[in-house]
């Protein structure tokens, strides 16, 4: 700041003190030429603009104040043919305010852009965390729930017949293996920045999911055409979570119907059971995650009791709605 102040002072007014022969003596004519005056005014304005734009606030304030002092000094003590010293001081102040104000506006613009970029990064990280949370709930919790149900059944059966309980152990081991495989697949997807697709053949994946559910499921799958990978993954996860909810909350369910069909504009799916539902159906994050998936794709979602069981339906458009 000392260097800036000194250099500016030499340009704007201190040269008079150094170069004058004595008090009241007119400075060299070179310093009075319009070219020199316009040049030094431009340099001062550029310095003030850069300080207001780029310098830290305290340094900018001190630097601009220094520039204002030396500029007012030069404007008052120099001889002018068209303006008196009051008009000169007013002109200096107006130009200074315009210049410094322009720098402040650019500083605010840069700060606003940085804040918007930071907010966008925060939203991206939040969306990633939500996506990971849904994947953990939909994929891993599905397998863990199956293991838990079978383990609970084994405990009950073991009181009467230990050999029957042992027959349930392979299913528990298989559930643990599937859970580990799902975790590894999700880690691979995250390492690939989500590039991996969840399903290549949606019909086959849905049938495999139903077979592994261990529920009395009756399926109707009509997918004559191809479905884009991200939409197919959402369909698979919605059906998976609906079956998980049936296994956890639909007490005494004897039949589950899974219907997935493709229309000209959307994929329609429904999962309905005839079990008794309790208040636990309102807890957890399963329904929240399903609704979020459908909302992100611009679709419609419903989940609720039917009087004879529980119904989950969704309409997922083939094209993302703007």
| Residue range(s) occupied by CATH 3.30.565.10 in the chain | 200-322
For the entire predicted model, the pTM comes to: 0.46
Say what the pLDDT of residue 10 is. Answer: 52
- Look at 133-142, 143-152, 200-209 and tell me which has the smallest mean pLDDT: 133-142
- Please report where in the chains the tokens 């419609």 appear, as a residue: 300
Does the domain at 200-322 match CATH 3.30.565.10? Answer given as yes
Chain center to CA of 251: 39
Burial class (CB in 10 A: 0-12, 13-18, 19+), 193: exposed
Q: Regarding predicted confidence, which is higher, 192 or 176?
A: 176
Residue 316 banded pLDDT, cuts 50, 70, 90 = very high
Residue 285 banded pLDDT, cuts 50, 70, 90 = low
Q: In the 8-state DSSP scheme, what is residue 251?
A: B
pLDDT tops 50 at residue 44: yes
Q: In the 8-state DSSP scheme, what is residue 225?
A: S
Residue 321 banded pLDDT, cuts 50, 70, 90 = low
- At 144, which helix (H) or strand (E)? helix 141-158
Q: Cα–Cα distance between 13 and 98 in angstroms, integer?
A: 21
Say what the pLDDT of residue 18 is. Answer: 46
Nearest by Cα to 273 from 315, 308, 221: 308
Phi, psi of 278 (to 5 degrees): -110, -175
């Amino acid at each position: 700041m000392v260097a800036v102040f000194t250099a500016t002072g030499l340009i704007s007014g201190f040269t008079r003190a150094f170069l004058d022969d004595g008090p009241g003596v007119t400075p060299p004519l070179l310093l009075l030429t319009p070219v020199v005056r316009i040049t030094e005014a431009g340099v001062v304005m550029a310095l003030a603009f850069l300080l207001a734009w780029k310098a830290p606030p305290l340094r900018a304030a001190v630097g601009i104040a220094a520039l204002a002092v030396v500029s007012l000094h030069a404007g008052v003590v120099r001889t002018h043919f068209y303006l008196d010293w009051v008009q000169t001081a007013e002109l200096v102040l107006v130009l200074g305010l315009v210049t410094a104000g322009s720098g402040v506006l650019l500083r605010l613009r840069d700060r606003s852009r940085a804040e918007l970029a930071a907010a966008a990064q925060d939203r991206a990280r939040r969306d990633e965390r939500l996506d990971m949370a849904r994947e953990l709930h939909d994929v891993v919790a599905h397998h863990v729930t199956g293991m838990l149900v079978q383990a609970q059944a084994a405990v009950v059966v073991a009181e009467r017949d230990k050999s029957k309980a042992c027959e349930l152990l392979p299913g528990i081991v298989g559930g643990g293996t599937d859970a580990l495989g799902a975790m590894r697949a999700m880690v691979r997807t995250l390492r690939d920045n989500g590039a991996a697709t969840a399903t290549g053949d949606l019909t086959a994946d849905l049938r495999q999911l139903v077979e592994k559910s261990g529920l009395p499921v009756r399926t109707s799958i009509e997918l004559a055409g191809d479905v884009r990978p991200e939409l197919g993954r959402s369909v698979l996860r919605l059906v998976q979570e609906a079956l998980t909810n049936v296994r956890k909350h639909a007490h005494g369910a004897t039949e589950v119907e899974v219907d997935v069909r493709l229309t000209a504009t959307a994929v329609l799916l429904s999962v309905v059971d005839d079990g008794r539902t309790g208040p636990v159906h309102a807890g957890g994050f399963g329904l929240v995650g399903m609704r979020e998936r459908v909302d992100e794709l611009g679709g419609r979602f419903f989940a609720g009791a039917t009087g004879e069981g529980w119904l989950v339906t969704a309409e997922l458009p083939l094209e993302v709605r703007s």
